[in-house]
Structure 1
Amino acid sequence: MKACDVVTFGEAMAMFIADRPGELHQIERFTKALAGAETNVSTGLARLGFGMRWISKVGNDAFGKFIIEALRKENVDVDAVFTDERYPTGFQMKSKVLDGDPQVQYFRKGSAASTICPADVDMNYFTTAKHLHLTGIPAAISESARELSFEAIKAMRAAGRSISFDVNLRPKLWSSEAEMIENVNALAVQADWVLPGVGEGKLLTGYSDHRDIAAYYLDRGVKLVAVKLGPEGAYYRTQTEEGVVEGFKVKAVDTVGAGDGFAVGVISGLLDGLAVKEAVRRGNAIGALAVTAEGDAEGLPTREQLEAFMNASVITQ
């Protein structure tokens, strides 16, 4: 089993993006793409040159084969992706919009990925990585996937690895808001770096101010909290420093995936040894680039593209 830089796990889906604006039921043609918060982060980090491993289950169907092949093309290690003969791969449909957030409909209940459990995964697939990136989505899709989330964090902490956590709240997948808050926070406080949106942070902590949201997690042992503020940028806080980093001005084409782009930037920056402020600035940059293209990961840059965008922004801002 080979070592890698970053490991993550979660559910990927085939995504069908409408070819024109309108209600989904009125659309005749769609373009197929890959969807999934963890696969977005895997793709983004791989394009920046990091060795990525993604762990999951897919069905023995066309969608599952598509997901595996798409990630292989991005140089993501999929050796720990298991094909399940019993359950299908999930998919989703997404509308095309000229402004605002697109409509997304999910078809994921009873998916192969939702059946993943600790018994399916050799923990060495996790601990041979330097860093674990986790989101709150696996914990929401099933009890067994939730159990794997906690086991993965436990194994990585025991191995002395760093851990990032993007809360990625999916209220519709939980039986209650209270259950969601309890479990997501239980995962978050075991991470080194926590990346909530300001609205998510308010729901999880009860505080509306980004400074108080950050303090909530810092008081519980987290080393860095970066709160996403939307187009305004992001607020970061550690035990010794804090600040707001301005966002990048771009024309948004598709807002889905901005948070995953932000995670790619922050994680890559910190693993590259950048100062926290510069890592958050990189997060803002990749989050901005992510919304300039249709699809969840199509706008994620290579290092060369990222450098060109950030250098141009320094000149124009």
Structure 2
Amino acid sequence: MTASSSAPEILSFGEAMAMFVATSSGDLAEVEHFSRDIAGADTNVAIGLSRLGFRVGWLSRVGNDSAGQYLRARLVAEGLDCRFLSTDSEHPTGLLFKERAAGGADPRVEYMRRNSAASQLSPEDAGEVDFSALRHLHATGIPPAVSASCRELSQQLIQRAREHGASVSFDPNLRPTLWSSESEMRTTLNAMAAHANWVLPGLSEGQLLTGRDNAHDIAGFYLDQGAEAVVIKLGPEGSYYRGTLTGHDESFTVAGVPVSEVIDTVGAGDGFAVGFVSAMLDGLDPRQALKRANLIGAEQVQVLGDMEGLPHRERLQQLETTRFETGLSM
């Protein structure tokens, strides 16, 4: 495949799962009715960037089953380029069940992803990717936690993207239960972060991965390893930036966007990543990028579902005009 205007300019990869969300609150064992949706941190970011008008490719596998057919149709409907989404006839599509939490609490989630189609991903799945056409690669710490072959794929994609001049964002998105040890998790993910341009951990994630206590020192750890910018998510308090994207070392905190009610916290970090990555690709400066990241993260927590709050470009422009030009968020 040769570079062309139709080739994806952004690539995301990982596991998309069919999600069944309880339609009423209570223990999952007692809930009788569920609604079907799509889930996956990597797909959330891919969909969010696609909604903002970027050409986004999705690299993964699904099973030869109804869940896989559903996921493919949903991803295509969201505008994703699925030329790198293959069907695995020997392994099933991953599933998850999500409770309906009350009062903005984190919902309990049960996964059924062991030996899933996406867990069989390997470097061979990237054989047809035209890296010369890529502007950006978004990676998270989830695929390398799923299997050894997914880990190899993750490392290769980051290396090839950087070799061809694409920028790379890395969100640790810790899933400790998927790792054989905390030490292996730290070593693997910190090595991946060292090869990314922009590292996007949450504060507690950064503390666990680096052993540093505060945002300034966590950022320093990754800057010393080779990152150009580190953006640390601080929840409702906003986000912290430290980096050299403007040509010199600078750091600052951008206050969070107040919300009237937190409905569902799942996907907030993915919305944040959508905001930051899209702003950087739009040519905005780091402070503007953090404002957008905080804004989309705030939008996401006000709706039920993992990606329902991710805006299309027109909606984002309306939000930014309302929030920032009138000074409501500062």
Count residues with an aligned counterpart.
Answer: 317
**What residue is the counterpart of 1:56 in the other structure?**
60
Q: Does 1:247 align with 2:253?
A: no
**What residue is the counterpart of 1:180 in the other structure?**
185
Question: How far 1:313 sits from its partner (Å)?
Answer: 2.5
- Where do 5+ consecutive residues of structure 2 fail to align? none
Partner Cα separation in structure 2 for residue 191 and residue 168 of structure 1: 15
**What residue is the counterpart of 2:47 in the other structure?**
43
Amino acid paired to 2:192: L
Residues 1-12 of structure 1 aligned to structure 2 (within 5 Å): 1=1, 2-12=6-16
Name whichever of 83-92 and 94-103 sits farther off.
Answer: 94-103
Contact 1:16 1:94 in 2 (8 A): yes
Determine what percentage of the aligned residue pairs are the same residue.
49
Cα RMSD after superposing both structures: 1.1
**What residue is the counterpart of 2:271 in the other structure?**
261
**What residue is the counterpart of 1:305 in the other structure?**
315
Residues 101-116 of structure 1 aligned to structure 2 (within 5 Å): 101-116=106-121
Amino acid paired to 2:9: D
**Cα 1:33–1:126, aligned 2, differ >3 Å: closer, same or farther?**
farther
**What residue is the counterpart of 2:72 in the other structure?**
68
Contact 2:299 2:310 in 1 (8 A): yes
* Partner SS state of residue 160, structure 2: helix
Write out per-residue CA displacement over residues 24-70 of structure 1, whole angstroms, 9 at most, x where no aligned residue: 11111111110011110011001100000010000000111111100
Q: Does 1:121 align with 2:126?
A: yes
Amino acid paired to 1:213: I
Amino acid paired to 1:289: E
Partner Cα separation in structure 1 for residue 128 and residue 240 of structure 2: 34
Question: How far 1:123 sits from its partner (Å)?
Answer: 5.2
Write out per-residue CA displacement over residues 208-245 of structure 1, whole angstroms, 9 at most, x where no aligned residue: 10010000001111001000000100000113211101
Contact 1:80 1:125 in 2 (8 A): no
Amino acid paired to 2:266: V
Q: Does 1:270 align with 2:275?
A: no
Partner Cα separation in structure 1 for residue 130 and residue 118 of structure 2: 17
Name the TM-score, length of structure 1 as normaliser: 0.98
**What residue is the counterpart of 2:150 in the other structure?**
145
Contact 2:12 2:137 in 1 (8 A): yes
Partner Cα separation in structure 2 for residue 246 and residue 29 of structure 1: 39
Write out per-residue CA displacement over residues 276-299 of structure 1, whole angstroms, 9 at most, x where no aligned residue: 110111011111111111111111
Amino acid paired to 1:65: Q
Question: How far 1:114 sits from its partner (Å)?
Answer: 0.2
Question: How far 1:20 sits from its partner (Å)?
Answer: 1.0
User: Which ranges of 4 or more aligned residues in structure 1 deviate by more than 3 Å?
Assistant: 314-317
Partner Cα separation in structure 1 for residue 279 and residue 52 of structure 2: 10
Q: Does 1:159 align with 2:164?
A: yes
Residues 289-304 of structure 1 aligned to structure 2 (within 5 Å): 289-304=299-314
Contact 1:198 1:229 in 2 (8 A): yes
Contact 1:127 1:155 in 2 (8 A): no
